Structure formats: structure tokens, C-alpha cells
Amino acid sequence: MRILDIAIKDLQQILRDRRAFLFIVAMPLVFTFFMGFAYRSMSQAPDPRLPIGLVDQDAGGELSQALGEGLAQAESFRLEAISAEQAENAVRSGKLAAALVVPPGFTRSVLAGTESQLELVVDPFSNRGQSVMEMVRPLVMHLYSSVEIAEMSLRAVESHIPFSSEVARQQELLAAFDTSWRAWDTSSEQGIAVEQVTSPPQAAHAEPFAGNPYNQASPGILVMFTLFGLITSATLLVQERRARTLQRMLTTALHTWEIMAGHLLAMFTLVLLQGLLLVVFGQLALGVNYLRQPLGVLLVMVSLAAWASALGLLIGTVAKGDEQVIVIAMISMFLLSALGGTWFPLEGAGRAFAAVGRLTPTAWAMTGFQNLLVRGLSFESTLLPFAIQLAYALGIFALAAWQFRRQAN
């Protein structure tokens, strides 16, 4: 009962502090918006595919058509049909990485066995130019080989049964080319795989953050400002010592653990309320679907509040003055937030960074949220993050309790 009285008194003090309102309510709301905008522009980043122009002067030709399809299907290219006059300028200005020029009568000439050159307009010394050359070359080789294979197989057939007419031969040759081209197409998946490695990461079509950048920003800010909000409640503990009210409490029949539990309860409640506020805001204003798995969200938040309030107790106990509270809380916040993936998903970070990040309790809070919001997993996916965060809570609390007892005596 007295635990509750202490907690209520703490909350009363905090709610009367105007600075607390700023820290706990106003700033996280503003930051959520801000981060959301930052992610939005990130997810609208320029198309990573290389823009490539096709000058098709062999309109209707089967080979140029196949070539166009081949380029369009390659995931590394964004194909644009252009005229011959535009080609040079577009490449020079960088608007296009390259332009492939198909000369007039290309299909007919190649099938007739006469020479006809494809031309690639490209800056061979630029990175993009080199990438394009590397990626276009196999496609062109593939085209010529397909024609060659068709020619060879036709000759084999011809030696037994000659064609009735030149037109029939042409038709058969085209059919053989088509078969060969497509056969290659399916078997050349590896070729495309190689292209993917050398090209910028695909991701052009997969929506980051499951389509809503606030799916990262909202829980990220929630976790980060949970730590920021600790400044207010930890300062209260320092003041309690400095104003000697802690000593006075110790002269009443209170037990030390009751005093600790009271302060802890106040911090826990505050963190939880702050979190709920941001969840409601995220749900209603930002379209983050927390309510899809309300129980899972609650589990993540309760365990987050548990370790965060224990950390608040520790900070308030260890810090010598108000300034130290701010310094320690800010350092904890920046370290745990950055490492724990509240600013950007750990999946996108380097391997070593992510490995270290995994050691922070913030990372587990984020994992819990992302499992629900981004990965669309079920409630069970929050059990592990819940358990690990609780373990952190116990550890931090043990440390805080040890310090607190040491000081009370």
C-alpha cells in the first residue's frame, strides 16, 4: 500500500513538471513525424536499376524484339525506347547509362548470314558504363549463339529433307531460333544471378518497412524516448536524496525495498503510459497497425517498461546530481538506441554492428515490434523478445537494488 503511495506521489510530482511533459509527450511525437519523413524519402530513393535506351531501327524484326524483351526482363535494367538522335546526348548527359542501337534490317541481315553490327553507346570508363557492357554482352552473345544454333540444326534437317521454299526455310529458322533463345533463357538463370550481384541490391519492388515507413519510425521512437523519459523519473530519485526526504522515509517504519518498489512502480507506469500514448498515436495518426496483435504489443511494451524502469532506478541511484542523470541517461539512450536498431533496422546494418546490437535490450524490443509490424508474424513471435527483455530487467534491477541498499546504509 505504501509502495503505491510512493508511486502516486512520484507521478504527481512528474506530472506537475512542465519539462516532463516536453520530454515525455511532445518530443517523441515530433520525432516520430520527423523520422517517418526521413524513412519515407529513403523508401522513395531513385530506382536502383540502370536506365538503358533501345534504339530499335529494325521495327518488327524478330531478333530485335527478342533483344528488347531480354533487356526488359533483366532486373538490372530499366528499358526506355528512344530515337537514334537522342541516344548520344542521353548517354553523355548521364540520363541513360547506355543506349543499344539496332541497325535497320538487323533481323533479315543476321538470318541471311550477312554482317550487321549492334552498337552500344556507352562511356566505357564510367562505372555504370562498365556494368552495362558486362551485362549486355552475354545477352548479345546469347542472341548470336541462338541464331547460330538454329542455323546449324536447320542445316542438319536440310541435309535429309530440303525445304520446299526459301520462305518455309526462313519460317523454320525463326522457329528454331525461338526455341533456342527461350531454352537458353530458362537455363541462363545463373547469368542473371551474377548480374544481380554486380548491380545495386534489387529491392526495387519489395516495399521496405512493409509499405509504411512509420512501421519503423513509430516503435523506434517509442523505444528511444522511453529511455529519454527516464531523465525525469531518475532526477526525482536524486532530488529525493538531496532534499533528505529519502532519509526521512528511512526513519519511518518503511522497509528499503518498499521505497525502491514505489519508485520502480512509478517509473514503470510512466514508461507504459508514454508507450501507450505513442502506440495510440501510431495507430490512429500514422497507420501503424499495432492493434493487429494487441496482446503481442502489450507483451513487448510491458517487458520494455520493466527493464527501462529498472534502468531508471539504477541511473537515479548512481548519479550524484541532476546533471549526471542527464548525461548518463543521454549516453544510455544514444548507445542503446543506435546499437539496438531504433534508428534503422539492424538487418540493414553491417554484420559486426548487428551482432553487437543484438546484445542490447533495445534490439529485442525492436525485434518484438518488427516481428508484429513489419514481418507480420503472430503473437508467439513476441515471446522470446519478452523473455529476454525480462531477463535484462531482472539483471539491471539487481544491480540497482544493490546500489540502493548500499547507499541507504
Partner 1 sequence: MNDDLAIEVKELRKSFGSLQAVRGISFQAAKGEILSLLGPNGAGKSTTISMLAGLIAPDGGQASIMGHSITSQPHQARACVGVVPQDIALYPDLSARENLSFWGKMYGLRGAMLKSRVEEVLQVIGLTERQHDRVGAFSGGMKRRVNIGAALLHTPAVIIMDEPTVGIDPQSRRYILDNVKELMRQGMTVLYTTHYMEEAAELSDHIAIMDQGQIIAYGTHDELIRLVGEQTRLDLGLSVEAEGILPAWQEVEGVFQATASDGIATVLVDDSNRVLPRLFESAGKAGVRINSVDIHEPNLESVFLHLTGKALRDD
Q: Which stretch binds partner 1 (CB under 8 A): 188-196, 247-255, 320-328, 342-350?
A: 247-255
Grid cell of 95 as nine digits:
540520363
Residue 401, CA atoms < 13 Å, CB-side half-sphere: 14
Does 243 contact partner 1 by CB under 8 A? yes
Beta carbon of residue 409, minimum distance to partner 1 (angstroms, whole number): 7
Does 248 contact partner 1 by CB under 8 A? yes
- Residue closer to partner 1 by CB (options 142, 263) is 263
Helix/strand/coil for 201:
coil
Q: How many Å apart are CA 208 and CA 306, to the nearest integer?
A: 30
Does 251 contact partner 1 by CB under 8 A? yes
Measure the CA dihedral 99/100/103/105, to 10°: -130
Quick one: which of 98, 114, 96 has its CA closest to 106?
114
Quick one: which of 317, 303, 310, 315 has its CA closest to 364?
303
Interacting residue with partner 1 among 198, 245, 378, 407 (CB under 8 A): 245
Does 5 contact partner 1 by CB under 8 A? yes
Does 21 contact partner 1 by CB under 8 A? no
Does 322 contact partner 1 by CB under 8 A? no
227: number of Cβ within 10 Å: 25
- Residue closer to partner 1 by CB (options 15, 168) is 15
Does 250 contact partner 1 by CB under 8 A? yes
Interface with partner 1 (CB under 8 A), residue total 22
- Residue closer to partner 1 by CB (options 15, 280) is 15
Quick one: which of 394, 183, 407 has its CA closest to 307?
394
Does 256 contact partner 1 by CB under 8 A? no
Does 252 contact partner 1 by CB under 8 A? yes
Interacting residue with partner 1 among 2, 40, 49, 108 (CB under 8 A): 2
End-to-end CA distance of the chain: 24
The residue length of the chain stands at 409
Q: Which residues bind partner 1 (CB under 8 A)?
A: 1-2, 5-6, 9, 12-13, 16-17, 243-245, 247-255, 409
